[in-house]
Amino acid sequence: MAPQPQLTETKNWNFHTDVEGLGWLTINTPNSPVNTLSREAIMELETLVARFEDLANSRELVGVILLSGKDSGFIAGADISEFDAMSDFSVLPEALKRTHALFQRIENLKIPVVAGIHGFALGGGLELALACHYRVAVNDDKTRIGFPEVNLGIFPGFGGTGRSIRQAGPVDAMSIMLSGRLLRAGAARGLGLVDKLVRHRDMLRWEARKAVLQHRKSKHAGLFKRVMGMGPLRGYAVSKMQEQVAKKARKEHYPAPYALIDLFEKHGDDWQAMIGGEIDAFAPLMGSDTASNLRRVFFLSEGLKKQGTKGAKFARVHVIGAGVMGGDIAAWCALRGMAVTLQDLDMDRIKPALDRGKKLFRKRLKKKFEVDAAVARLEADPAGKGVSRADVVIEAVVENLEIKRKIFAGLEDKLKPGAILATNTSSIELERIAEGLKDPARLIGLHFFNPVAQLPLVEIIRSTFNNDAEIGKGAAFALAIGKSPVVVKSAPGFLVNRVLMPYMLDAVQRVEAGESKELLDAAAVAFGMPMGPIELMDTVGLDVGLSVATELGHEVPERSKFSKLVTAKKLGRKSGEGFYKWVDGKAQKGPVPDHKDLAELGRALVKPLVDMSKVVVSEGVVANGDMADIGVIMGTGFAPFLGGPLQARKDGKA
Ligand code: 3H9
């Protein structure tokens, strides 16, 4: 009897067979821009897999091809919005066991199951793909493969720990899981996570079909890689991993990578035992405050992406001022694909910025032709010809009201209709700059942070003249260049400088009163800050710190050490000496004196920052506490595992 055509549709899946007896399984999560493995999707898949088992037994199915029904990508992982319910320990182990069993049944199917990957295959999505027998992926700019779980305070929980080790070997698999870094398809192929590459998405079905018909199996689960997990080598690998992880995160703040290393130490020689061990090690992580706060940070940063005028397009940017900020903003925009003109008084002033741009391109772009294209996109423009063609004009000259006003007066008539007009001022009220314009509503603030390439935040400064339209466009532009926008009222110090300054000044005063700067910096780091306040002041520059402090109304006595250092041009990192001496970009620190409770001292140190975060919310500088939390995390690096200063205060942690 000829096989009967099959068609099953559930909320998340579509399954049909074709005349060759191939089963096409497509995932399409309803009401979501990305596919996720929700509990519902997993339960539906259980029913489908039972069907595959029956059809395979009756030889009505030759193989199954798993694809995504969405352009956005393959599968973005388990559904993170369900995790709060899953952090209930009593349900979690059962849920994990059930998914483990399901993935094992897929692996045990007698017929080949092939995953066709385009776009994002992350976390649980990659784990499902790894339970298939063969993986084909599109080798383009959009495909990204990896395990971002550590960023959520957990590690892979659907069998990904063991299966990635089986495919890629322990060293590479652990490195991917511990770092959360995402791979391009070519790199994933190199490691064995992917078996075959195709150039375009429309070749995916064809290649996957071939793989099923030829009964191809992944060749990567080789003996060599299994051996690498064994014996004394593993002990060495474990100590190296611990060393690497310790450089980035403390165990008490981010337990997940440490728990994953422990799991590897116990079971790294047996990928199946590793999968089995996942369940017990996973549950406490999922229920931890760290994981809950990191989920909060994830959804808050997702929320930032929702801002901005939809469909706004930006192709050309003109930056005025080729100093550190202007030059680096211009280079960043060119890196992110914009055609940029950079204006300053003469070529001598522009050239260093172009050179820094080249360095950035070489660091961030892999291929020579990409670097060359970025270099070509960043153009010196001493005559300012780019203004009339630009979609965005950003002024980043010295903090001097008269000079800024003069520049803007000359710009207004030359601008393209609808172009954004912005200043990168960090201290001058926007209204005072805008006053001189024919249309003051046009000027917004786009406040970038130094170093531009490293800090994700851009404060979108709103003056009393602005309408939602200008602010929406500003936010859309920040997103277009890969930055995270937070809208902030034009008020002295905006958000980030306003909360940072009392924190840094309090630490400076403690040093002046005789406390050890090394101790204070170590205490802040023990609390969870990326850098201590004194090292930060040296990094920002003491002159900059002093001028922002003065603008914000803080009194810094002339006889203070701080003022004296500025007068003596000991400005911190950039001059080679500030509170610390600096050699090759590193603060030369003395030993940290003993202290009974570093973390407690750290809490006391960040208190002024936390208190000021509350004040800025009550003054309406940012829309609400969530915005303050995510803005402060992105602008200062404030301990993400605490969920932001206000969340930490609510939880009694700060
Ligand atoms: C995991 O898999 C654990 C397992 O090992 C074990 C579990 C027990 N869940 O960012 P976008 C939403 S952990 C729920 O604007 P993009 C997102 O919130 C998971 N929702 O698109 C947004 O919603 P809305 C490991 C998710 O193109 C919308 O989709 N995976 C999820 O800029 C669009 O997102 C990750 O950590 C999810 N997994 O970036 C990946 N993913 O429209 C997390 C996305 O309502 N996701 N949403 O605001 C990402 O990194 C990015 O979303 C992605 C796309 C790179 C995929």
State yes or no: is 447 an active-site residue.
yes
End residue of a domain, out of 262, 294, 326: 294
Q: Report which ligand 1 atom has the smallest distance to the Cα of 160.
A: 5
Catalytic residue among 133, 267, 318, 447: 447
Residues 545 and 464 in one domain: no
Whole-number Å distance, alpha carbon 25 to ligand 1 midpoint, is 21
Task: Name which of 512, 622, 604 is nearest 559 in CA terms.
Answer: 512
Number of domains in the chain: 3
Q: Which of 294, 328, 350 is the last residue of a domain?
A: 294
Query: What digits encode the pLDDT tens for the residues 56-97?
Result: 999 999 999 999 999 999 999 999 999 988 777 778 899 999
Q: Please write the tens of the pLDDT for every residue from 572-630.
A: 999 999 999 999 999 999 999 999 999 999 999 999 999 999 999 999 999 999 999 99
Atom 42 in ligand 1: residue holding the nearest Cα: 33
CA dihedral sign, ordered 104, 106, 111, 112: negative
Q: Give pLDDT, residue 81.
A: 94
| CA of 305 relative to ligand 1 center, distance in Å | 12
For residue 1, being part of any structural domain is answered with no
Residue-level pLDDT at 76? 98
Determine, yes or no, domain membership for 125. Answer: yes
CATH no. for residue 102? 3.90.226.10
For residue 126, report the distance from its CA to the centre of ligand 1, in Å: 13
Q: Contact 127/154 with Cβ under 8 angstroms?
A: no
Ligand 1 centre from 40 Cα, in Å? 17
401 and 548 together in one domain: no
Q: pLDDT band for position 226 (50/70/90)?
A: low
In a domain, 306, yes or no: no
Asked if residue 302 belongs to a domain, the reply is no
Q: Is 148 in the pocket of ligand 1 (CB under 6 A)?
A: yes
**With a 6 A CB cut-off, is 158 part of the ligand 1 pocket?**
yes
With a 6 Å cutoff on the Cβ, whether 77 touches ligand 1 is yes
| pLDDT tens-digit map of 240-272 | 999 999 999 999 999 999 999 999 999 988 888
The model carries a pTM of 0.93
Let me know: does 295 contact 152? Beta carbons within 8 Å.
Answer: yes
For ligand 1, whether the C-beta of 308 sits within 6 Å is no
C-beta of 78 in contact with ligand 1 (< 6 A): yes
Measured from the CA of 306, which atom of ligand 1 is nearest?
48
Helix 170-179 to helix 255-267 angle (10° resolution) is 160
Q: Give the nearest ligand 1 atom to 303 CA.
A: 48
The percent of residues above 70 in pLDDT, for the chain, comes to 98
Please report the atom of ligand 1 found closest to the CA of residue 147. Answer: 25
Q: Peptide bond preceding 502: is omega within 30 degrees of 0, i.e. cis?
A: no
Strand spans (E) along 263-380: 316-320, 339-343, 378-380
CA of 76 to the centre of ligand 1 (A): 5
Assess whether the C-beta atom of 95 lies below 6 angstroms from ligand 1: no
User: Is residue 23 situated within a structural domain?
Assistant: yes
Whether 500 has a pLDDT exceeding 70, the answer reads yes
Are both 480 and 610 inside the same structural domain? Answer: no
Residue 91 is classified by DSSP as: T
305 within a domain of the structure (yes/no): no
Instruction: Kindly tell me if the per-residue pLDDT of 229 is higher than 60.
Output: no
Same domain (yes/no): 471, 516: no
pLDDT the model gives residue 87 = 74
Domain boundary among 467, 490, 513: 490
Under the banding of pLDDT at 50, 70 and 90, the label for residue 6 is confident
The answer on pLDDT for 195 being more than 60 is: yes
**Distance, first Cα to last Cα, the chain:** 72
Cα separation, 224 vs 226, whole angstroms: 5
Q: Is the beta carbon of 305 within 6 A of some atom in ligand 1? A: yes
Distance 241 CA to ligand 1 centre (A): 27
Q: Whose CA is nearest to atom 47 of ligand 1?
A: 34
Q: What is the CA radius of gyration of the chain?
A: 27
For residue 176, tell me if it sits in a domain. yes
Same domain, 486 and 503: no
CB of 155 within 6 A of ligand 1: the answer is no
| Dist. CA 68 → ligand 1 center (Å) | 15
Give the ligand 1 atom nearest the CA of 156: 5
Q: Is 36 in the pocket of ligand 1 (CB under 6 A)?
A: yes
For ligand 1, atom 22, the nearest C-alpha belongs to: 302
The three-class DSSP label of residue 383 is coil
Shortest-distance Cα residue to atom 52 of ligand 1: 76
Kindly state the average pLDDT of the residues 482-511.
Answer: 96
161-196 burial code (b ≥16 CB/10 A, e <16): bbbbbbbbbbbbbbebbbbbebbbbebbbebbbbbb
Cα 209 to middle of ligand 1, angstroms: 29
My answer on whether 542 and 584 are in the same domain is yes
Query: Could you tell me if residue 303 is inside a domain?
Result: no
CA angle at residue 561 from 559 to 566, to 5 degrees?
95
Ligand 1 centre and the CA of 77: distance in Å?
7
The verdict on 562 and 581 lying in the same domain is yes
Nearest CA to ligand 1 atom 46: 76
Atom of ligand 1 nearest to the CA of 127: 5
> Same domain for 287 and 395?
no
Q: Length of the chain in residues, anyone? A: 654
508 and 566 co-located in one domain: yes
Q: Sort strands 457-462 and 443-447 into parallel, antiparallel or unpaired.
A: antiparallel
Domain limits at 615?
Answer: 497-650
Same domain for 243 and 160: yes
* Cα–Cα nearest to 411, from 319, 500, 503, 346: 319
Residue to probe by mutation, ligand 1, list 12, 29, 34, most atoms within 8 Å of CB: 34
Q: Are residues 203 and 147 part of one domain?
A: yes
Is the Cβ atom of 479 under 6 angstroms away from ligand 1?
no
Atom of ligand 1 nearest to the CA of 151: 36
Give the CATH number, domain containing residue 355: 3.40.50.720
Predicted confidence (pLDDT) at residue 1 exceeds the cutoff of 60: no
Quick check: CB of 79 below 6 Å from ligand 1? yes
Q: Is 160 in the pocket of ligand 1 (CB under 6 A)?
A: yes
User: Which residue, judged by its Cα, is nearest atom 12 of ligand 1?
Assistant: 34
Inform me whether the pLDDT recorded for 133 exceeds 80: yes
Query: Torsion angle, CA of 174/177/182/187, rounded to 10 degrees?
Result: 20
Task: Report whether residue 122 contacts ligand 1, using a CB cutoff of 6 Å.
Answer: yes
Do 108 and 223 reside in the same domain of the chain?
yes
Using CB atoms within 10 A of its CB, is residue 364 exposed (0-12), middle (13-18) or buried (19+)? middle
Tell me the CATH number at 637.
1.10.1040.50
Name the phi and psi angles at 256, rounded to 5.
-60, -50
Mean pLDDT of the chain: 94
